[in-house]
Structure 1
Amino acid sequence: MRGMRFARTIQVKLVIIYLLLILVAMQLIAVYFIGTVKSSLTESFTNNLKEQADILSKLSAQSLAVKPEQGGEPSEQTADLSLVVQNLFSISGTEVQVLDVTGKIVATSLQVNQSYIGKKNTSLAVSRALQGITDNEDEIIDDDNVRKKMIAQPVIYNDKVVGAVYMVASMNDMYDTVERVNRIFVSGTLMALGLTGVLGVVLSHTITSPIKGLTRHASAVAEGKFDLQAPVHGDDEISRLSMAFNNMTSRLREALSLNEEENEKLVSVLSNMSDGVLAADENGRVIVWNRRALELLGLDTGEGCKLTELLGLSGQQIQEMLKGPVKTAVLSRGWDEDEALPEGKSVLRVTFSPIHRRDRGITGMIAVLQDVTEQEKLEQSRRQFVANVSHELRTPLTTIKSYAEALAGGALEERELSERFVGVIQSETERMIRLVTDLLHLSRLDSNQAQLRRRQTDILEMLDEVSDRFSFQLRQKSIRATVKVAPGLKSAWLDRDQIDQVLDNLVSNAIKYTLDGGEIELSASAPDPGSVAISVRDTGIGIPKKDLSRIFDRFYRVDKARSRNMGGTGLGLSIAREIVKAHGGTIALESELNEGTKVTFTLPTLKEEEGESA
């Protein structure tokens, strides 16, 4: 595997390119040069044979032209030609024949072929030469696989063909020369390739070495090492590339530094936001979230979750939210706005904002979560308060109006009837006065305008006085009242008037809802050295469990009709809770239906100097 990677490197590719260039060049030169040498040697060899054939034809022309009837002796002519041919034209491996006009061999250069004298040469070249054709040459391969050159020239005397010269010469020496030249080129090519390979390695190293250095620096930059600089040698293309790379690294380092700074700011902002933030991609899958979002949704992580699952909204609803301007939705999670908000439930306001990309449109969305539970509770309380006040005032006003109209209509003349009507009007008026008084008291408590006037108060004395104030009502219903104070509990610093009002409200409620012959107990104890707990327990009709969580709400009544008939405004327990809270204490109610109710409020026991400063 490593060898394959090395074979694919630029250095190897450059060396291969050099070698291929040299190889191709040498092959082209060899083909051209060897072809030229071969052609030149062949032409020179052929011309040499032709020149010898011309000389021999001139020398033998007169001898071949002499006929026996002119007084010549053929045997002497033949002997002279044989001597000339054997001595002057004895080229190594070359056979020279002189033929007469009839094609018979008159003389030959080879001693072994002397027996051919007088015999006829029937080759085509000889026949063409005897016909006066001068261009008769050919290359032949004999039985011994020897390549030879064959030439036949006519012998002309007085413009008459009197014979022919036939020459066959071996071309082995010429082809050996060509082969030696070829071997020289092969050797030169191998030497050139070897030298080129060495030079190619050296030269390619000068190119690949800076590239390798740049590669190492690029890998280091990819790993986050931006302090490294690529070396710059000279002013060539690679050096300029190194300079550009160093410049790019510096700018990238600055850009990443700014990006990290911005990311840190963004993370810090998201982490410390009081609102939750969820960012989702185009598929609705959550990709970014902050800690507050997980707290509001009650999750450990948002990884792999979809926005539709987290918010309980359908994909179509979210798509509708993303159309047009920024839109919001309120998530109540199974709570009806017309009902009271259950404990532990929360209301979230979600603001959707699309993420746009210029070339792709909407590529995601951002959802901002706000906990509006307290706001919703306040709004619900405001609506209920307005509705309750309107209802509480409307009933007596309607009664007063009805009786006033009756009096104006003639009932005033009947004394007994008019007195009863006036009594009802007075009763309803007093009821409205009590309601307004309680509302003003609550308003002062809410705005912290009701200043506490703490003083040393004897607990037992305070509880006895409360029991005495309600003695008439207790005797009317035959209710037995008892007061119990824990041993050692003497006094506490508190606003006596305010606490008396709390006790009056609690005892009044206990008397109202306790049947004749029942029992009411006022007790005080010290659950710890720093507090005092005062309880009012009765054996009345009790309160259903479903109403216990709202029993301290303003204008809340368990039995609305019965409470109004008893003259209550529905604000007593609310006032009691606010007074106890103003003292820094707590109030709690325990009740069992048809068994009784126990209300306990706990106050801190302050020292004298603490009470005065408070």
Structure 2
Amino acid sequence: MKLFNRFLTIIFSIGFIPIIPVFAFLFYYQSVGKADILRFHENMARMSAGMAEENFYQLSKRMDSLDLARITYADGKRFIGYSIEKNPEFLFLALLDPAGRQKERDGIIPLKRLFSYIDISGEEYFRRIKIQKTPIIGDFKLVANIPAALIIYPLRTGEMIYAIVDLRDFFRQIYAQKIGGGSVYFANSAGAIFSFDNFAPAINSRKLAGLFSSGSGRLDAVSDSRGEYIGAFSRILDMDLFAVTLQGRAQAFKSVNLMTSLVVFFIFSILTIFYFVALISAGNISGPINDLIEGAERISRGDFKAPVSEKNTIKEISRLVKTFNSMMREISEYHSVNLEKVMDEKEKLDLLMGVISDSIILAEFTGVPVYLNPVASEFLMAGGEDIRSERMRLKISEIVKINAKSGGKGLSFPWAKGRYYDVTVKTLKPLRSVPLVFIVVRDVTVELNIQKMKEDFFHSIAHDLRSPILNMQGYIRLLQLSGGLSPEKKKEYVEGLKEESDRIFVMLENILDMSRLESGAVKLNLKEAELGGFLEKTMARFEYLFREKEIKYEVIKPAAGGKFIADYELLERAVSNLISNACKFTDKNGIIKLKAEILAGGEAVIEVSDTGRGISRDKLGLIFDKFRSYDKNGFGLGLSIAKAVAELHKGSIRAESEEGKGSSFFIKLRGAYGK
């Protein structure tokens, strides 16, 4: 950039500073103005929600009169006819018995076809109505292009009224309210706006539902094919219904944007005038300084004999020239420094750096390396390459960037995959040379791997203990706080406590067993056993569970019989773990098979297969890892123990699976033979 341009930039920047508060005020004005508009929308949404709440309250009061009507009209059909006649907004009305099943019904033909038979006995809210004796209003949706709500009202007779109510008149009353060019609408929690006359904007329902769930109350930017909208929403009581205000964004912010445009035009007019003033001032100053720049360029080329002329009419520039000439003389003196002494010091430094196990890198600020110790050369894979090459510069620059972003701990680099390093970066400012960057890189891969193993172990233990302990605390609170419990309930809670404590005991027992297996503390109690009997005995342990889950099972013995030598109890536990997993993930009417065969080489293969859910390919290679569970009630140790038992017998275990079709696990053992 030329000197003239620099002066122009400086002067213009100084003049621009007073404009900054104006921009800040403009930004503040826009923010406040838009916030006020959104706040107005919030108030309108709350007011509309209040009107809706009042309407539903009045509707609930009118439902109270049906108790008296039911006493008057003992016949169900007459009662239904009377109720629809007195309440024309009832599109469909059904009388349910105390068990929640339909007795009589009537209404418009589309709804009579839609609701052929009403039975709410299995619904969760049915029990709540029976206990609390209060009506429920909800399930807002369009029925035959009519906005409707479901009302279930309990009568004093124990019966219930199941009514579909037409909300068109009320919605039209609310939709008639205008906010500038916008309106008030209603939507359910799924984000569907009730637009029975194609009157409302076609906002994406999924995005609108996400905004409802956030609970912010504002709609800062939503859009449809016609443009963007702003607005607000307010939930109506605890119903599945929201009052929503929507107004075109451009229309809502029209006055704010107009004022902003006028102020920006005024500011740019001032800046244009000031630019021409700065242009003239920069031209008057830059001319005399160009001579000084040419002299400085001669010095930078090593021409120390021709000093810059100190004659100048501007006092400040003349002083600057004298300073440059003094600096030139000092640089000449630096050339007389004893280079031999410098080389001696370098040899000492090389010897010291060679015995350090960390990578030591000394580089310029541009990333060009000045010095690498042998460990650093190996780390950067310099080999016989010139350390000042572009590739080395890019690598060192990458080290500094990654360190600045990540804090210098546990860093990884593209050219050293799988390794982790701690990096320390310091700045050196020698008196007689340019500033340098001092970098120390220490390989911490082993330390981090050990730390991660510890953390994974304790996190897994804490995660698996948390669920049963929380459940036990829940049962204890129920036993402490609930008065007048029946013996059946007490027994249920105590059994729940026992089940959760059993889960903790099983997990701890599995951890201890896994620890003993991995440490080699378990000694095999080898003995001869009959393979077919082993299969039948192991499968018999799960017969009750199979019946309870309605799962079929099959035991397939070796064709020619056979015996094997193994630790019977350990092997039985390994196979039981595989059968237990198969039972967990096999649905009703599924099949589990336990099969064994003797191979020609004297090896026994025990197979457990099922027709369950199967395992995805990305998870198949991880299932034998400790604490790797895909069942919320499991601890992730069953398959790990099975693998450890197989390997303790000098055997192996493997799995085959296809997602949605089932899985097969194979344990191969040595020391088997025929009859």
Which TM bucket (shorter chain)? 0.3 to 0.5
TM-score for both structures, normalised by structure 1: 0.43
Q: TM-score, normalised by structure 2?
A: 0.39
Larger Rg: 1
